[in-house]
């Protein structure tokens, strides 16, 4: 289903996605963002609506939706609902320290001590598709309203089919300081790269289950130690999905801490710093499917990801 208020423009050649039957893959440009479609079925939608100081709440974050098996509606959450700042595939840190200032690039929740940092799409550096899948790279500026940007991000999403019945997107964020050292700090619930499932998941928490690696340990506050991946499973609009979140073994800070909330927000927490002459690169892979994934299959998929990143990953 197309959004009627949006004009589409094909910006990449039709290609074949190996392992996905004969479906044709296309990448479309929208005024508000970019869709990735396969055989006319939407897989992903990245939202880039311009920041509006008079109505900042819907537009202060760049994020990407995962779509349902039919390609009709997202299975991830946008603005509103429980914790409105949780949206699709997103990244941020509650304690983003720029010089002597502490900024919040995770949410816009009330704070007497921190300014709120926004993310604004600036340009598409790449929109392409080929026999391996579809790829988009956005130039994103991180800024405080009314001030010049303090950090620049290149966010690359690569959509592809890793196997029958599976959909995958590689999420790679390259962060560069625009002035001095930036410290990225927070906690497992309020920092890192996360996924937030549809609002209805929060209204049916008992239906949410997590699959974890064999040697992982769940500590307090739904924090998972010793895991490079977690897999969430929950029904959305009557169909159960499995969503596998994986972190590249090349993450500069080492193995992350995972957060696994029953209301459908899960992801990798890590802390690092960003320099003008030393960008931070963090890479993740998300696989989603309506076919059950058990621990062994998740581990196999993770090992495939780890091998693909190489020894200098990400």
Tokens 């939202």 sit on residue: 47
* CA dihedral of residues 210, 298, 268, 221 (deg, nearest 10): 20
**Could you report the per-residue pLDDT of 238-247, keeping only the tens digit for each?**
999 999 999 9
- Residue 163 DSSP symbol: S
DSSP string spanning 197-245?
Answer: B-HHHHT-GGG-EEE--TT-EE-GGGEEES-SEEEEEEEETTEEEEEEE
- For residues 157 and 14, the answer to whether their CB atoms sit within 8 Å is no
Mean pLDDT of the 173-198 span: 97
Residue 91 confidence (pLDDT) = 97
| Model pLDDT, residue 1 | 23
pLDDT at 109: 76
For residue 119, being part of any structural domain is answered with: yes
Q: Which of 4-8, 41-45, 257-261, 268-272 shows the lowest per-residue confidence on average (mean pLDDT)?
A: 4-8
Dihedral pair phi/psi, residue 301, rounded to 5°? -65, -35
Q: Given a cut of 70, is residue 314 above it in pLDDT?
A: no
Distance CA 309, CA 307 (A): 6
Q: What pLDDT shows up at residue 50?
A: 83
Q: What local confidence, expressed as pLDDT, does residue 27 receive?
A: 58
Average pLDDT in the 88-97 region? 96
pLDDT value of residue 112: 62
* Sole residue written with tokens 């004009």: 7
Q: Is residue 153 part of a domain?
A: yes
Give the pLDDT confidence score for residue 108 in this predicted structure.
84
pLDDT value, residue 15: 32
Decide if 126 contacts 134 (C-beta within 8 A).
no
State yes or no: pLDDT of 6 exceeds 50.
no
Number of domains forming the structure of the chain: 1
Instruction: Give residue 14's pLDDT.
Output: 27
**Considering the domain boundaries, does residue 222 fall inside one?**
yes
Strands 265-269 and 223-225: unpaired
Does the structure show a pLDDT above 90 at 7?
A: no
Instruction: Dump pLDDT digits (tens) for 110-140.
Output: 666 679 999 999 999 999 887 678 999 999 9
Candidates 78, 299, 283; CA nearest to 196 is: 78
Specify the pTM: 0.90
* Residue 3 counted as domain residue: no
Residue 111: what pLDDT?
62
Mean pLDDT of 208-220: 97
Give the residue among 237, 217, 234 at the shortest CA–CA distance from 226: 217
For the stretch 199-209, pLDDT in tens is: 999 999 999 99
Instruction: Give the residue-averaged pLDDT of 162-178.
Output: 97
| pLDDT tens digits, one per residue of 10-69 | 333 223 333 344 344 565 555 578 888 887 789 999 999 888 888 887 788 999 999 999
Confidence of residue 313 (pLDDT cuts 50, 70, 90): very low
Q: Report whether 258 contacts 269 (CB < 8 A).
A: yes
The answer to the question of residue 13 being in a domain is no
Which one-letter DSSP state was computed for residue 295?
H
| Residue 40 within a domain | no
Residue 41 within any structural domain of the chain: no
> Residue 255 sits in which domain range?
90-309
For residue 192, tell me if it sits in a domain.
yes
Pick from 48-52, 182-186, 187-191: least confident:
48-52
Tokens for 76, please give them: 């991830």
The mean pLDDT value for 263-286 works out to 97
89, two tokens: 């595939």
Question: Looking up tokens 């209301």, which residue turns up?
Answer: 263
């Amino acid at each position: 289903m197309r959004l009627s208020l949006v004009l589409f423009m094909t910006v990449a050649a039709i290609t074949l996605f190996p392992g996905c039957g004969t479906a044709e893959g296309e990448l479309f440009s929208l005024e508000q963002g970019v869709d990735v479609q396969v055989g006319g079925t939407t897989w992903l939608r990245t939202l880039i609506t311009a920041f509006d100081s008079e109505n900042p709440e819907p537009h202060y974050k760049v994020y990407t939706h995962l779509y349902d098996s039919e390609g009709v509606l997202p299975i991830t959450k946008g603005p509103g609902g429980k914790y409105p700042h949780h949206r699709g595939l997103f990244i941020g840190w509650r304690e983003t320290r720029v010089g002597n200032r502490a900024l919040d690039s995770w949410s816009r929740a009330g704070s007497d001590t921190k300014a709120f940092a926004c993310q604004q799409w600036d340009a598409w550096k790449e929109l392409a598709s080929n026999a391996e899948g579809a790829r988009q790279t956005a130039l994103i500026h991180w800024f405080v309203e009314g001030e010049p940007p303090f950090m620049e991000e290149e966010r690359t999403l690569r959509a592809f089919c890793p196997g029958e019945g599976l959909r995958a997107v590689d999420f790679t964020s390259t962060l560069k300081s625009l002035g001095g050292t930036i410290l990225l700090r927070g906690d497992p619930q309020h920092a890192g790269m996360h996924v937030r499932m549809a609002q209805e998941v929060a209204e049916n928490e008992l239906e949410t289950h997590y699959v974890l690696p064999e040697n992982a340990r769940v500590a307090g506050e739904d924090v998972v130690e010793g895991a490079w991946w977690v897999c969430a499973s929950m029904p959305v609009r009557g169909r159960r999905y499995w969503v596998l979140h994986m972190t590249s073994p090349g993450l500069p800070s080492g193995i992350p801490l995972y957060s696994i909330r029953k209301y459908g927000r899960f992801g990798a927490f890590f802390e690092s710093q960003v320099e003008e002459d030393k960008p931070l690169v963090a890479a993740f892979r998300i696989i989603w499917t309506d076919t059950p994934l058990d621990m062994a299959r998740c581990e196999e998929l993770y090992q495939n990801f780890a091998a693909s990143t190489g020894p200098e990953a990400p």
